[in-house]
Amino acid sequence: MNKPLLTGALALAVSGCASQQPDMPFTLTLAHINDTHSHFDASDAPLMLDGHQLYTRLGGHPRLLSQANVLREQARQNKQPLLFVHGGDAWQGTGYFKLNQGAMNADILSRLGLDAMVLGNHEFDLGQQHLATFIQSVNFPLVAANLDTRREPALKGAENLYPYVLYAFDGHNKERLESMEDAGGDAVVAVIGLVLEDMPEMVAETGRLRFEQEVAAAQRTVDTLRAQGVQHIVAVTHLGLERDQRLAAGVNGIDVIVGGHSHSLLGDFSDLGMGKQPAYAQLFSNPDGRAKTCVVQAGQYAQAIGKVTVTFTPDGRVSRCEGGNTLLTDGVFYRDIRRGEQHRVSEAQQQGLNELIASDERITVIKEDEALRRHIDEQYRPVLNAAYGKVIGHVPAALGHRRLPGRDGAQSDVAPLVAASQLYWVNTPAVQAVTGRKADIALVNAGSVRAAVEPGELKEGHVSLELLPFANPLSMVSLTGRQIAALLLETINASLPEGAHTGRFPYAAGLRFEFDETRKGAGFLRSLEVRKADGWEKVDANASYTVVMNGYSASGNDGWNTLFKTQQVLTDRIDLAWVDGKLTAFPVARLDKTGGGAIQVHYINQPLNCRTRGVKCNTDASAFVEYVRDQRPLLSPLNDTGVTLNRLQ
């Protein structure tokens, strides 16, 4: 019998009959993924191998399933317990999601054999009813101990949403328990879920949901489980690496944190061209000084799978925690991302690569699961191919997307182009005829750009379904130079700490800035200039500038708090959307917040409801399509992005 999610006082009573756990050491293996973002097909990816930049395809859900089955078989042969968990954000990311609205995610994820998944912030993107349908459709439990659903009609009493779930193990054999009274003498593992406490700031509409403070809810849940006799506790979180580390150091009794949200491929992959993150399976001491918590995370886009093995002392503390992330490649390599037959590596080089990969635990060649590949190709891929529409331009070389500029100066190729497209589009005569205004600056939060752009034909669907899939209206709003500087300082400083959520980092057009990191995770603006007809001039703190950005950012979501503060009393902001094919301006009066912390936009006349029949809000995608078609049909990076970020080494 399933139980609904209850927060505050958790529903399971402490029973004097709770079973005693075995005194022998216990070892648990966790396979884990996170931030898969509807990447059901493999991703084209560059890798450095044997000193050469080569191109292959990484991951995809059929390949994830094959690797998960390999790990399951290893655990079966060794008679070892294994759980397979997802760290959230399965939604968004590709045209598959745009076309199927979460239904395909439920279908494909249910075929992976997951044991639990935490809710990521993007699982809330379509509103509570869509989320409720997803929760009810999957064949594995969703977990969220700090989510209070009691006031939200769509999710109240959801039968597949829990604060935590319990699994009992007899060797490799696993059984889902209703309570500890059913455990017998088997070892029991609790899997608890933790979602972002500031979810209302990140998601447009969270209804009447309440999000509790992460550390307090985690400690309360752990204490409840320990009182019942549970000795092994795994937290599956969607908080980001920095918060996971704080959680590990701030809560007594969590053994392993399996995270998501910051897309952290933990470990050193720099020689493979995939960057260097903090070490996989780091241990953090709990506040009581008695126990330690192990923290892991597995990158993004279904490209890798993590495997961590945890050994416990007889009294339930972690004694060893080790493992790593493994990139999943199809094993086919090209010298050029256009992947023509003439670009294939030679037979001798392929043999050398096979030997190199066989000796490297960070990467493996694995075939896709044939049944899942066939299911995707038959049920979903034909509609996806038809939806991509007309060719709008060509991309000679890959355009990468890096949310936060690196210490080496590398940054996003795509986000500056998105900003340039918005500034271009709102200043075209057709749009100015609707707005009556000219924009000076465009700002783009890095997280709104959801994909790199691969070489070859660029179609409308690549933009609206992959690059800018959120269908955001563009907004125009007046800001003073002082407010612009405050916004940049706020968002850049918030993006710099190790493991921080970097989706809030700002890229720009018509504006250039230089930022110096003066201490770890913080710094100041060295210069801030706006483009004028005769060149660049210093931003005047007291002057007013018209800024264009997507409506999500314009409301102050995702840490762009300065924008919320400036519009609480009065604003001249207008939002732009298509109504029955006609571009329409929606003037905004002010912003406020609901009791739950969600930001509300109050319009002067008719409200903008992007779900209304005949209303299309994706003017952000429209701007990029027109910009490429009219200005840059051969799409290449801008010579100057306007962003200079001087980071400490």
pLDDT at 588 over 80: yes
Quick one: 79 and 100 in the same domain? yes
Quick one: 281 and 329 in the same domain? yes
**C-alpha R_g of the chain:** 25
What pLDDT is attached to residue 336? 80
Quick one: 489 and 446 in the same domain? yes
What pLDDT is attached to residue 520? 78
Q: Which of 324, 354, 376 is the last residue of a domain?
A: 376
268: exposed, middle or buried (Cβ count in 10 Å: 0-12, 13-18, 19+): middle
What pLDDT is attached to residue 499? 75
Q: Which of 402, 448, 478 is nearest to 552 (CA)?
A: 448
> Total structural domains in the chain?
2
User: If you average pLDDT over residues 479-483, what whole number do you get?
Assistant: 98
Quick one: 196 and 163 in the same domain? yes
pLDDT at 160 over 50: yes
In a domain, 598, yes or no: no
| Beta carbons within 10 angstroms of residue 237's beta carbon | 34
Q: Which of 347, 376, 405 is the last residue of a domain?
A: 376
What pLDDT is attached to residue 1? 31
- What is the residue type of 345? V
What pLDDT is attached to residue 455? 65
pLDDT confidence bin for 16, thresholds 50/70/90: very low
In a domain, 9, yes or no: no
Query: How far, in Å, CA of 639 to CA of 645, rounded?
Result: 16
What pLDDT is attached to residue 69? 98
The structure tokens 């700090």 sit at 146
What pLDDT is attached to residue 397? 74
Quick one: 415 and 330 in the same domain? no
Long-range contacts of 538-543 (CB under 8 A, 24+ apart): 539/481, 539/484, 539/485, 539/511, 540/481, 541/480, 541/481, 541/482, 541/485, 542/480, 542/481, 542/482, 543/480, 543/481
In a domain, 100, yes or no: yes
In a domain, 584, yes or no: no
pLDDT digits (tens, 9 = 90+) for 421-475: 999 999 999 999 999 999 999 999 999 998 888 766 899 999 998 899 899 999 9
The lowest-confidence range among 284-288, 463-467, 536-540, 564-568 is 463-467
pLDDT digits (tens, 9 = 90+) for 258-290: 999 999 999 999 999 898 999 999 999 999 999
What pLDDT is attached to residue 211? 97
In a domain, 435, yes or no: yes
Quick one: 54 and 201 in the same domain? yes
End-to-end CA distance of the chain: give it in Å, rounded.
55
Which structural domain range is residue 307 located in?
Answer: 31-376
The lowest-confidence range among 59-73, 172-186, 395-409, 527-541 is 395-409
pLDDT digits (tens, 9 = 90+) for 182-204: 888 899 999 999 999 999 988 87
Quick one: 399 and 358 in the same domain? no
- What is the residue type of 127? G
User: If you average pLDDT over residues 344-348, what whole number do you get?
Assistant: 94
User: What predicted TM-score, i.e. pTM, was given to this entire model?
Assistant: 0.74
Confirm if 137 and 103 have CB atoms less than 8 A apart.
Answer: yes
What pLDDT is attached to residue 521? 75
In a domain, 564, yes or no: no
User: If you average pLDDT over residues 573-580, what whole number do you get?
Assistant: 98
In a domain, 561, yes or no: no
pLDDT confidence bin for 19, thresholds 50/70/90: very low
The lowest-confidence range among 136-140, 412-416, 486-490, 501-505 is 501-505
Instruction: Report the CATH number at residue 311.
Output: 3.60.21.10
pLDDT digits (tens, 9 = 90+) for 605-628: 889 999 999 999 999 999 999 999
In a domain, 3, yes or no: no
pLDDT digits (tens, 9 = 90+) for 406-430: 888 889 999 999 999 999 999 999 9
pLDDT at 23 over 80: no
Q: Which of 211, 258, 222 is nearest to 237 (CA)?
A: 258
pLDDT digits (tens, 9 = 90+) for 284-341: 999 999 999 999 999 999 999 999 999 999 889 999 999 999 999 999 999 887 677 8
Q: Which of 376, 411, 446 is the last residue of a domain?
A: 376
What pLDDT is attached to residue 5? 37
Instruction: Report the CATH number at residue 631.
Output: 3.90.780.10
Quick one: 356 and 398 in the same domain? no
What pLDDT is attached to residue 474? 98
Query: How far, in Å, CA of 104 to CA of 369, rounded?
Result: 17
Contacts of 91 (CB under 8 A, 6+ apart): 37, 38, 97, 102, 105, 120, 122, 123, 125, 126
The DSSP bridge partners found for residue 83 are 30
In percent, the amount of the chain with pLDDT more than 70 equals 96
pLDDT confidence bin for 4, thresholds 50/70/90: very low
Quick one: 40 and 110 in the same domain? yes
- What is the residue type of 518? T
The lowest-confidence range among 28-37, 82-91, 133-142, 384-393 is 384-393
pLDDT at 20 over 80: no
User: If you average pLDDT over residues 36-40, what whole number do you get?
Assistant: 95
Quick one: 468 and 528 in the same domain? yes
User: If you average pLDDT over residues 489-512, what whole number do you get?
Assistant: 93
Quick one: 340 and 405 in the same domain? no
Q: What is the mean pLDDT of the chain?
A: 93
pLDDT digits (tens, 9 = 90+) for 49-106: 989 989 899 999 999 999 999 999 999 999 999 999 999 999 998 889 989 999 999 9
User: If you average pLDDT over residues 101-119, what whole number do you get?
Assistant: 97
Query: How far, in Å, CA of 460 to CA of 518, rounded?
Result: 42
Quick one: 404 and 494 in the same domain? yes
In percent, the amount of the chain with pLDDT more than 90 equals 82
